[in-house]
Amino acid sequence: MSDRKPAGQFLDAAIDLLRRVRAEEADGIEAAGTLLADTVENGGRLFAFGAGHSSLAAQDVVYRAGGLALMNLLTVPGVVGVDVMPATLGSALERVDGLASAVLDSSPLREGDALVIVSLSGRNAMPVEMAMNARALGVRTIGVTSVAYASETTSRHSSGTFLRDHCDIVLDSKIAVGDAELTLDTVPAPFAPASTVVTSALMQAMMAAAAGALADRGIEPPLLRSGNVDGGHDWNGRVLDQYRDRIFYQR
């Protein structure tokens, strides 16, 4: 229970969101895991993309101990995290029409692959076009977003659509518009965002579902182990070598 201090209130809010996601998104998570497992079984490659802070959840499933070795990060210079100066440039790039097309044209994505697109609002040109163009290439798409934005804000893409409108599967993070869980009379703005906590949990739940689905089919999931446990490096070396034609982060 909350100790009525902001830190405790935030943790309670995050836990409540995770409980909602578990209850309301269970079928979608299993469907997403199945889609990823299908892609692995059929020889496809896995990719994740996120812009700004949404990139944190995408990066969290790439080259990760306990994660699928086949998950690759689709990067866009200036958009991954807050790696540019000024940081506001990254936000501006998300709104540039046509940039996603150029990224996909120069990426290794091909028909039969799967792409997880993480965007809290799902309203900017980058995630919308990423999903639209990926599907046109024959790539299966999973969107991880807050569906609330589609009803409470307007799209920034010329089509007037949101990320959720162009994905094979959509997982709703349940994050409220504005991404701030707390308010206080003594603080002039809402604060304490929970989107990274919840979205990362959704991503890891999806990876767990994929690993379980592969195991149910008698296929050993291509998982990585921690390099900080005995034998981890040797294990990872074998996995990376076995799937080297489907892994792009070590080139």
pLDDT tens-place string over residues 94-133: 777 778 888 898 899 999 999 999 999 999 999 999 999 9
Q: Residue 74 CB: number of other CB atoms within 10 A?
A: 24
**What does the block give as tokens for 18?**
């995770």
For residue 5, pLDDT beyond 90: yes
Residue 104, exposed/middle/buried by CB under 10 A (0-12, 13-18, 19+)?
A: buried
pLDDT of residue 32: 98
Backbone angles phi and psi of 146, in degrees to 5: -100, 110
Residue listed under structure tokens 């091909």: 110
pLDDT of residue 4: 79
Q: Which CATH architecture has domain 6-223?
A: 3-Layer(aba) Sandwich (3.40)
**What does the block give as tokens for 11?**
């943790």
Could you tell me which residues are beta bridge partners of residue 142? 116, 169
pLDDT of residue 1: 44
Instruction: Using DSSP, state whether 168 is helix, strand or coil.
Output: coil
- DSSP character string of 211-226: HHHHHHTT----B---
For residue 83, pLDDT beyond 90: no
Q: Which residue has the higher pLDDT, 66 or 93?
A: 66
How many helices and strands (H and E) does the chain possess? 9, 5
Taking the domains of the chain in order of start, what are their residue ranges?
6-223
Query: Is 86 in contact with 58 (CB distance < 8 Å)?
Result: no
pLDDT single digits (tens) 147-164: 999 999 999 998 999 999
Strand order in the sheet with 140-145: 71-73, 46-50, 114-118, 140-145, 169-172
Q: Which of 84-88, 175-179, 199-203 has the lowest mean pLDDT?
A: 84-88
